[in-house]
Amino acid sequence: MAKTTETENTPQGEEGGSSSSSSFGGRRAGPMAQTSASSASAGSGTSGGTTEQPTRDRHTIAARKSQYLIAARRTPGMQMMGMQPLSSSLIEQSLRAMSDIEVIDVVGPKTIMGALADGFSEAPSVVVARMTEQKAVALYQQGQGRLLVERDQSLALLEPSFQPLLVAGVAPTAGPALSAKILVTGKDNAPVKDAEVYLFGSFLPATGVTDERGQVTLTLYGETVQTVRSLYIKPKSDYWSFYQQQPDLSTDEVNAVDLRPLSEAPSLADFPAQQAYTWGQKAMRLDRLPGDYRGQGVKVAVVDSGAGTTHEDLNRIRFGFDIINKKSNPDTWNEDTVAHGSHCAGIIAGVADNDKGIRGFAPDAEVHACKLFPGGQVSQLIDALEYCIEKQIDVVNLSLGGVDPSEALEQQLLRAKRAGVACIVAAGNSGGPVQYPASSPNVLAVAAIGKLNEFPADSYHTQTVTQFVDGNGFYSAKFSCFGPEIAVCAPGVAITSSVPPNNYAVWDGTSMAAPHITGLAALILAHHPDFRAVFRERNADRVERLFQIIRMSARRINLGDPSRTGFGLPDVLVAVGLQPQVGVAATAVAATTPQFVAQAFGQGFNPYAAAYADPQALSSQVFGGGQWKGIGGIDPAYTAYMSSLYAQQARFPFMGFGRQGW
Amino acid sequence: MPLQTSDGSKDRYIVRSEDARLLADFIDEAKTDPELELVETIGPVGVPHTAVFLMPHEKARALQQRYGESNRVIIERDRPLSLFDSDG
């Protein structure tokens, strides 16, 4: 059984969520902090209103402080092992010495009898202090099991008689309302227009889009500053997203957020002026492929939202079909209002020779953009596949799907396969069972993985991370669907690619994972010797052989659950036949048989279940085994509880990047 | 413009048969039924395998029952698809 391991990048006991030891640069030192006066005014008004207001009083958003209880851990087990609990006065002194912690109160026994009642020499006390969640997590880690750190919670009377009476009718705006002005800026403090802004409270979020001044005002009813859970800003392009849990919003000042340009990522230095390989392409070793391996002679269809050929990375796409408008104007496939198809097409076949942006996997493949969105339906997907059969397309990228299977679509998928059309399908983003048509036996289903340290710690990509991370920092994306249908996994978190008119955006999704495999499939068909000989003829056997090569080229992603990653992450050099398969060859060959699949995915094979059955083991995986060694008296249940609590509430501090860094 | 998915009382349905003649017969019969409105056909020219109709739900159920036993004609509601980016 495979075991998950702690990431190499995970720091232990790091101070306050500070940055990891990686090469990532720190966040720019608050260009919007305090009273930057470079912008003249801030406006308000939901979804882009423009009420003029002075902006001298700006507030740079950071994590909000909450109230915590901190105390020395005292268990009989510790005394039996000759270990003394931490001194309460020492804890209090230490906390008071930390500038980012506000000590509110110290609660202890009222009498000496109370102090001696539990057999310890010193009066135990609990410090009540305010700090950020990241700081609380850091304290807990630094305490190495000897410190209790708990969020202070509201108590409620449980007597039924105290329940409020039900009343008829609701006045939606009668309660308290929180109104916050958000200013979004980017490089050189320039306002960022058209950024989507989401403010999450306890129920539905307030949403809006920034106006030409980069401003939007959002109102949440029934919420206060203290109950706001998070702020999410999704720029249209050119910047990383921003995500802050428990933001310390101001209702009096403009809340300023300074977005990071994409080029702040070490792997995207000077991007897009300098052409770059994305982390996902490097993980699949595309950057090691000889320059003349470009997928020439292979036809790839991207069934999606079209392809914006105004983009310098997509301007060589010559073919397409607008299925949505096929009766009125089938040639509008090159207008992509959604940008999704352009993003996928860039991953597959972004231009290689322009020395800028992103090079796709198969830049010389003949791309056909089949436009199905907005508004795509199953019947139109059947129509798109008909186009693919007719045009003798070799590989089809389907970063789409639905919940319910369709018998009519299944027959068309089978028809396409028999015609030699290989469909590569995204597994879905619901975090549940693989969606359709990825669940079809006639396609290759792709799950999404991410990699730590490939995105900023204050970006929304952090929300894709689970605590199960392999030794290389790879993890199964939280949103990715899973199940026995998953053939392979591919990079699907923080993927940079082209969006219209001529920009770049970083997106997440199995939608982004599938094009990595589609591009790889084009390379295989163009360059693997099998497809110049035995499997030259277009038929189902050719498609099956292609799928088999993709699976066999995969390096295992060791997350302990093959239903999340299938055979693993395919390797470009192995897949095109330039390098032999290493390590997993025998397994992979055997694994192509139905018997192996049944064994591997059969009932009872659940490594997670074993980990949960052993909380200490789980804790070791989450926090790192070394940290806990030699600590006596740790209650495994408590360890597991804290592990799950912090994993839920503050995932990213464990992962080696903090607010100060990535 | 996106294709109409419903005219209020009718929904889009996919009718498919691997037997082109059977589908052709279905389409011919549908022309005489005012409840059925042919939207388009999909497949090789002259021998389509799929047709898209607008029809009331009750009519679709009746047709499903009628053709269900033969297992040679599929009648199913046309459903929307989603893109799988993080918002999708």
For every residue of A469-532, DSSP letters joined together read: B-TTSEEE-TT--BSTTEEEEEE-SSEEEEETTTEEEEE-SHHHHHHHHHHHHHHHHHH-GGGG
Q: What distance in Å separates the CA atoms of residue A55 and residue B43, rounded to the nearest whole number?
A: 61
pLDDT tens per residue across span A578-606: 999 865 443 433 343 333 333 333 332 22
How many angstroms separate the CA atoms of A638 and A140, rounded? 13
The whole-model pTM stands at 0.75
- Amino acid sitting at position A537: E
Report CA-CA distances (Å) from A361 to A22, A162, A270, A385: 27, 64, 21, 22
**Range A451-466 average pLDDT:** 95
CATH 3.40.50.200 domain residues, chain A: 266-601
Residue A512 confidence (pLDDT): 98
| Structure confidence at residue A301 (pLDDT) | 98
Instruction: Establish if B29 touches chain A: CB-CB under 8 angstroms.
Output: no
Residue A169 scores a pLDDT above 90: no
- Whether cis (ω within 30° of 0) applies to the bond prior to A374 is yes
| Domains of chain B with CATH codes | 11-77 (3.30.70)
Q: What is the DSSP string of A155-204?
A: -----GGGSPPP-S---TTTS-EEEEEEEEE-GGG-B-TT-EEEEE-SSS
User: Looking at residue A150, what is its pLDDT?
Assistant: 84
B17-32: per-residue pLDDT in tens?
999 999 999 999 999 9
Percent of chain A exceeding pLDDT 90 equals 57
What is residue A119's predicted lDDT score, i.e. its pLDDT?
53
Cα gap A614→A634, rounded to integer Å? 14
In the predicted model, is pLDDT for residue A41 greater than 90? no
- The mean pLDDT of A345-356, rounded to a whole number, is 95
Superfamily of domain A28-64+172-259: Carboxypeptidase-like, regulatory domain (2.60.40.1120)
Best A379, A464, A511 residue to mutate vs chain B (most B CBs within 10 Å):
A379
Q: What phi and psi, each to the nearest 5 degrees, are found at residue A332?
A: -90, 25
Partner residue opposite A509 with nearest CB, options B40, B44, B88: B88
The residue among A406 and A562 whose pLDDT is bigger is A406
Residues of A that are catalytic: 304, 340, 511
**Nearest residue of A to residue B74, measured between CA atoms:** A408
Residue numbers in B near A399 (CB within 8 A): 83-85
> Is A307 an 8 Å CB contact of chain B?
no
Q: State residue A88's pLDDT score.
A: 81
Taking CB atoms and an 8 Å limit, are B14 and A376 in contact across chains?
no
Q: Cβ contacts (< 8 Å) between B3 and chain A: which residues?
A: 324, 375, 377, 380
Does residue A412 sit at the B interface (CB-CB below 8 Å)?
yes
Instruction: Mark A574-605 as b/e (b = at least 16 C-beta within 10 Å).
Output: bbbebeebeebeeebeebeeeeebeebbeeee
Domain with CATH 2.60.40.1120 in chain A: 28-64+172-259
What's the mean pLDDT in A216-240? 94
- What is the sign, positive or negative, of the torsion defined by CA atoms of A462, A465, A469, A471? negative
Please name the residue ranges forming H helices in A339-470.
340-349, 378-390, 407-418
A382/B74 CB distance under 8 A: no
User: What confidence score (pLDDT) does residue A314 get?
Assistant: 98
| Each residue's pLDDT tens digit, A295-345 | 999 999 999 999 999 999 999 999 999 999 999 999 999 999 999 999 999
Query: Residue A433 has what pLDDT?
Result: 97
Q: Is the pLDDT of residue A391 over 60?
A: yes
Taking 60 as the threshold, does the pLDDT of residue A118 lie above it? no
Q: Averaged over A622-632, what is the pLDDT?
A: 27
Give CA B75 to chain center in angstroms: 6
Based on C-alpha coordinates, what's the Rg of chain A? Answer: 27
**What is residue A140's predicted lDDT score, i.e. its pLDDT?**
77
ipTM over 0.90: yes
Mean pLDDT of chain A: 79
Q: Is A382 on the interface with B (CB under 8 A)?
A: yes
* pLDDT tens, residue by residue, A633-660: 333 333 333 333 333 333 332 233 332 3
Mean pLDDT for B76-87 is: 89
Residue A559 pLDDT: 82
* Interchain CB distance below 8 Å, A375 and B3: yes
Name the least confident of A174-178, A420-424, A608-612, B44-48: A608-612
Return the higher-pLDDT residue of A388 and A158: A388
The residue in chain B having the minimum alpha-carbon distance to the alpha carbon of residue A463 is: B86
- Whether B3 has its CB under 8 Å from any CB of chain A: the answer is yes
Contact A379 B12 (CB under 8 A): yes
Task: Say which CATH topology domain A266-601 has.
Answer: Rossmann fold (3.40.50)
Which chain B residue's Cα is nearest to A427? B84
- Which residues of chain B are within 8 Å of residue A390 when distances are taken between CB atoms? 44
Q: What is the pLDDT of residue A82?
A: 60
| pLDDT value at residue A662 | 44
Please check the confidence at residue B38 and state whether its pLDDT lies above 60: yes
Q: What is the mean pLDDT of residues A600-628?
A: 30
pLDDT at A93: 82
**Average of per-residue pLDDT values in chain B:** 88
